Amino acid sequence: MRSRNTWSLLQVARGLLLGSVSLVVAEWPQGVPLDDFITAERDIALQGVLANIGPSGTKVPGAGAGFVIASPSRTSPPYFYTWTRDAALTLKTLVDDFIFGNTALRPYIDDYIHSQAILQTVTNPSGTLLPNGGGLGEPKFNPDGSRYNGNWGRPQRDGPPLRAIAMIAYSNWLIENGELERVNKTIWPVIANDLSYVGQYWNSTGFDLWEEVSGSSFFTTHAQYRSLVEGAELAQALGQPCIACAQAPQVLCFLDSAYWNGEYFTGNINGNFNRGGVDANVMLASIAGFDINASCDSPSLQPCHSRMLSNFKVFVDTFRNPSLYPINSQFPSTSGIALGRYPEDIYYTGNPWYLITTGAAEFLYDAVARWSKQGFITVDDTSLAFFKDLYPDIEAKTYKKCSKTGPFRQILDAVTAYADSFVSVVQQYTPSDGSLAEQFLKTAPGSPTSASDLTWSYAAFVGMTHRREGHFPPSWTQSVTPAPETCSPGSIAGVYAPATAAGAPNVTIGCTSTVLFVVNASTYYGENIYLSGNSSDLGKWDLNNAMPMQSSNYTDARPMWFAQIPLTAGETVTYKYAREQDCGQPWIWETVNRTLEVPACVEGSTEVLLETDDAFVGERGSSGGC
């Protein structure tokens, strides 16, 4: 039961959020008990999420219905967009909250489903829905759902599985409450497109959740696996086929064998990253896939898994280095600390993130919940170092629940206190209005920085409070089986169709052939290369609809920009490249036109049928110095 003091804090919190209370309440949040802080801040965080969702979100005017905006921040940094990944993670939190009893959230969930059905059909720089689903890998869109045409790290392959997971959770609730027909007709077609994308592209590289490196990401692979497992169960319940779901064992085989290095999970592989591999994405993946009914040795890699505990210790200890994060020098070695993305991070100088520090607490609450449910803790050589910090007398053996004061209970209490200490760090650096930005400074005074009112930060706080209070989402691992002994990488070509019953337009497309455009163009930092041409696929010479090219393979020796684009088969295309300069300077067009004949299509093929080898002809750009 909430205390009178807590209720007064809630009233203050609501007033602060609405701007109706003076900020003279100096004792909040740092000066109140942790439980009271969590109760009040949870209310603020949920309202912070809803304020960033269109069409009625108070901080995101102009956002379309159901679109989750990352942040109201329009400049420095510009986050006034909807990211498929962030939106899906946020909606999963709202779906959980709805299932736990907050029925007022249902309109937000229904609006989201409608918005995503439409979004799946929007042609974008990553491609289209038809014929091969390439456009589903587009990471972000404008707040009204139109295409974002700027240069970006694309494709990103975590959005479709995370969106499927959120909608599957809602669909399962609807089925349990007598709405199977609605799920079958309206929601399943949206989910089916995303599952098709996962089955077709899980074995292809893409940009990670931080949108910085192209390769294979633990976070993405984990989400892909879960989506296929849950997708298969939902399909069976609906009497629908899910051919893509047959890839789940091979995704698990890759997850189980490719990332573990003997001490921790390498966050990203299959690329040139210039990083050591310690990355928050592993921990975030584990909490996103938490299942209270999964055993600690489940191949789904739950937070209480020995390898996950070892990974957690390595990750946290990395940020205990005071030369990396000076603010962490104040905390003892057994306490929670401020945590960032990865130690080599330089974005906004590489600061702690609220959602990651909150995520550490959730990770530990999850582990404690599972140990409590099963009644024992097994410590092995892999996890021993994690436990030693918190319970020095521990040994590699199994501790059973025998009494209220024995080692089992003492270990649980120690880990719970450890979890609380991470929340205390968030409390220490939360401003007096309760707002949660993306980051807070790694040096004193730890002020909020980067994007303000980050939706993901708010959603992460809400999710953490549910785990702390013992609220757990429905199980998903009941059909999980061990990974195959031998991995057989592959994929299954997807079947895609607009989800018209959910509101998507009935888009159609003729037969296309994929062309890989490659151009050598030396550029300065902040300059981008675009491709434009006379066909609708290339924007009809309109730079607003030109195709942004990728530079992830760019080197000084080979300044390569590329774009893989499906074009109408058999047509003759005239095209040229253009330089987008920084500081608002005029674009620089090539001085020549180029022509190619698009090859005849091969039905169902996504292979590149033609590759150009061009070199930019025209003036070079120069930075405006802004």
Known catalytic residues?
A: 208, 211
Token representation of residue 114: 């409608």
Token representation of residue 380: 């092995």
Please name which of 330, 331, 332, 287 lies closest in space to residue 312, comparing C-alpha atoms.
287
200 neighbors 244 (Cβ within 8 angstroms): yes
Give CA 15 to chain center in angstroms. Answer: 31
**What are the distances in angstroms from CA 461 to CA 269, 436, 457, 490?**
29, 9, 6, 38
d(CA 143, CA 55): 10
Residues composing the chain: 626
139 neighbors 119 (Cβ within 8 angstroms): no
**What are the distances in angstroms from CA 153 to CA 149, 206, 351, 517?**
12, 8, 21, 17
- Rg for the chain, CA atoms, rounded: 25
| One-letter identity of residue 557 | A
Token representation of residue 349: 């100088």
d(CA 44, CA 99): 20
Helix (H) or strand (E) holding 520: strand 512-520
DSSP-assigned beta bridge partners for residue 576:
532
d(CA 451, CA 472): 30
Helix (H) or strand (E) holding 12: helix 4-18
Token representation of residue 289: 């896939």
Helix (H) or strand (E) holding 517: strand 512-520
d(CA 150, CA 140): 10
Token representation of residue 413: 């209490």
Residue 389 phi/psi, 5-degree rounding, is -60, -30
Q: What is the 3-state secondary structure (H, E, C) of 338-391?
A: CCCCCCCCCHHHCCCEHHHHHHHHHHHHHHHHHHHHHCEEECCCCCHHHHHHHC
d(CA 436, CA 44): 9
Give the CA diameter of the chain. 81
Peptide bond into 155 cis (omega under 30): yes
DSSP-assigned beta bridge partners for residue 597:
572
